[in-house]
DNA sequence: TGCTTTGTTGCGCAGGATGCAACGTTCGTT
DNA sequence: AACGAACGTTGCATCCTGCGCAACAAAGCA
């Protein structure tokens, strides 16, 4: 909609991947140097980017400032923090907090397990909607038409033999999840990874976030991961209460 | 330089303070609703902002994604991470990592002490240049003309009776810091807060970052904080070595 | 010295960004 | 039920702003 802004944003994303010089920037955007210069200057004014002494541009400190405040604004995250730490400590496994933002399931926080493979996930990045246990939990709480809409829009990349392959399967899974009260990813994203996830509810009972535990199967087999569910539910229950939810 | 971009950035900063509706946005920028709408739409496309179901705009997940990767790019931060954690654990106090970016001293990382007052500092925000111990360390490493330039440019807000009040005092302090190898903030920003800071050096011996320990005086008095210096120097030495510095 | 690479400035043109007005909805109020 | 206020959305005409160009400056290199 707004050309110059849109270009600037592309530039920021690029800078997130790697710092670059003015010429690099112009090349990435496919515009004249002077155009790139003007954009970068404007970004620099508000400290969204900064130039190091050798004229290379980096993401600026304004970025970190906004990112941290934005994270803090998500009240759920603040409330969940201590419980995530506790859950990670108690189980010794990787724990994620994720939320639903306008069509995407996004990781809001995580606690890495000290001694296992690090999962490929990053705070701020979207989760895979048809495989991640957190995604199933969050999608399961949407109303019927919205679920359908999303189920139809997804591209069902088959990561492993177990990955769900189409809208029908996913929708069935979602109703199952809603009934059961928790979701499972049984090697659907990484063949050797099993996850369980459960919902965090707000004052009105709506699901506002999801917490998951992820375990490589050479650490715990599938059965044992399922055995973590009560502990997980205890944590999500505690977080929900801290968020103002009252048990029915 | 670029009007629309500049407006969008102002909007982002505003959203960092609080989420807002379309009309709010238009009011803040002092433009027509439709203009604000177009900007927000563009921002939304790249997930820099998102609309919640009730049409209010928030900072989007792209921020978290970019901020985390950008922070990881600062190799110092990666290298420092474990040492900061260790130092915070060993001393039980709040620990900061800060760096120099184009005229500003910026907090790059921190470890909060569990049981003390939380300091007003935030990753990404600039530190106060004439009071913060980290700032003294970083400025002390600049060359003479640059130091003078900065010392002249600062506004010497007197936070406490101890705050340095002018360029001459600051410049004297900086040479002292350079000689001594560490810096002190003796109640110069908050009357009840004492900090010590020391430099992290890169392969070429130049100071690339600074680490500080901050302690409220009802936890440890000034003398006892000074007693932490050897431990601090041990940490900065270890980080420097991890960054490729070799002891002279 | 000349050549390349990279950042910077001024200028004129055109297209994109802007404000306007009208419409659609959803509220809450009378 | 009817009304009006508040808010988001759309299409359009205007004009300003963001664009590419070309020339300049400075630094690195053969």
Write down the pLDDT at residue A128.
Answer: 82
Edge-to-edge order in the sheet of strand A94-101: A104-111, A94-101, A207-216, A193-201, A183-186
Write down the pLDDT at residue A212.
Answer: 92
Q: Say whether pLDDT at B118 is over 70.
A: no
Pick the more confident residue, A75 or B140.
B140
**Percent of the residues in chain A that have a pLDDT greater than 90, as a whole number:** 3
Give the chain B residue nearest A142 (alpha carbons): B53
Write down the pLDDT at residue A196.
Answer: 92
Torsion from C-alpha of B175, B178, B179, B182, nearest 10 degrees: 120
Q: Domain B74-242 adopts which CATH fold?
A: Beta-Lactamase (3.30.450)
B3-66 and B74-242 have identical folds: no
Q: Say whether pLDDT at B231 is over 90.
A: no
Write down the pLDDT at residue A118.
Answer: 59
Task: Taking residues B9-24, report their average pLDDT.
Answer: 85
Across chain B, what does the average pLDDT equal? 82
Residue B239's alpha-carbon distances to A226, B76, B108, B140, B244, in angstroms, are 41, 8, 14, 19, 9
Model pTM greater than 0.85?
A: no
Domain edges within chain B: 3-66, 74-242
Checking phi first, is residue B124 left (phi over 0); if not, alpha (psi -120 to 50) or beta?
A: left
- Give the mutation candidate from A60, A61, A207 for the B interface (greatest B CB count, under 10 A): A61
Q: Say whether pLDDT at A122 is over 70.
A: no
Chain segment B69-97, per-residue pLDDT in tens: 777 666 777 788 888 888 888 888 888 88
- Domain A3-66 grouped into CATH 1.10.10.60: no
Chain segment B234-243, per-residue pLDDT in tens: 888 888 887 7
Residue A96's alpha-carbon distances to A99, A111, B179, B244, in angstroms, are 10, 7, 47, 34
Name every residue whose Cβ is closer than 8 Å to that of residue B32 and which is 6 or more positions away in sequence. Answer: B26
Name every residue whose Cβ is closer than 8 Å to that of residue A230 and which is 6 or more positions away in sequence. Answer: none
Q: What is the DSSP letter of A74?
A: -
Q: Say whether pLDDT at A205 is over 80.
A: no
CB-based contact, B30 to chain A, within 8 Å = no
When pLDDT is cut at 50, 70 and 90, the band that residue B197 belongs to is very high
Task: Using an 8 Å CB-CB cutoff, list chain A residues near B17.
Answer: 69
Residue pair A29/B5 in contact (Cβ under 8 Å)? The answer is no
CB-based contact, A146 to chain B, within 8 Å = no
Residue pair A78/A96 in contact (Cβ under 8 Å)? The answer is no
Q: Say whether pLDDT at B248 is over 90.
A: no
CB-based contact, A155 to chain B, within 8 Å = no
When pLDDT is cut at 50, 70 and 90, the band that residue A195 belongs to is very high
Query: Separation of CA B27 and C1' C19 in angstroms?
Result: 14
Write down the pLDDT at residue B94.
Answer: 85
Of the CA atoms within 13 Å of residue B33, those in its CB half-sphere come to: 5
């Amino acid at each position: 909609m707004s050309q110059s802004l849109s270009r600037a944003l592309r530039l920021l994303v690029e800078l997130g991947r790697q710092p670059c010089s003015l010429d690099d920037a112009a090349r990435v955007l496919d515009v004249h140097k002077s155009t790139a210069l003007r954009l970068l200057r404007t970004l620099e004014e508000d400290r969204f980017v900064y130039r190091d002494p050798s004229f290379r541009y980096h993401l600026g400190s304004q970025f970190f400032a906004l990112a941290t405040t934005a994270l803090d604004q998500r009240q759920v995250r603040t409330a969940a923090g201590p419980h995530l730490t506790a859950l990670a400590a108690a189980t010794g496994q990787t724990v994620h907090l994720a939320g639903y933002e306008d069509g995407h399931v996004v990781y809001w926080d995580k606690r890495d397990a000290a001694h296992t493979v690090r999962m490929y996930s990053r705070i701020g990045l979207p989760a895979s909607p048809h495989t991640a246990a957190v995604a199933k939990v969050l999608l399961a709480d949407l109303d019927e038409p919205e679920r359908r809409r999303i189920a139809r829009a997804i591209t069902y990349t088959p990561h492993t033999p177990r990955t769900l392959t189409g809208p029908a399967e996913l929708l069935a899974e979602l109703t199952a999840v809603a009934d059961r009260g928790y979701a499972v990813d049984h090697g659907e994203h990484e063949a050797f990874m099993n996850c369980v996830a459960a919902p965090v509810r707000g004052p009105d009972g709506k699901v506002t976030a999801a917490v998951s535990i992820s375990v490589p199967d050479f650490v715990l087999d599938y059965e044992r991961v399922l055995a973590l569910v009560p502990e997980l539910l205890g944590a999500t229950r505690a977080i929900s209460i801290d968020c103002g939810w009252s048990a029915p």
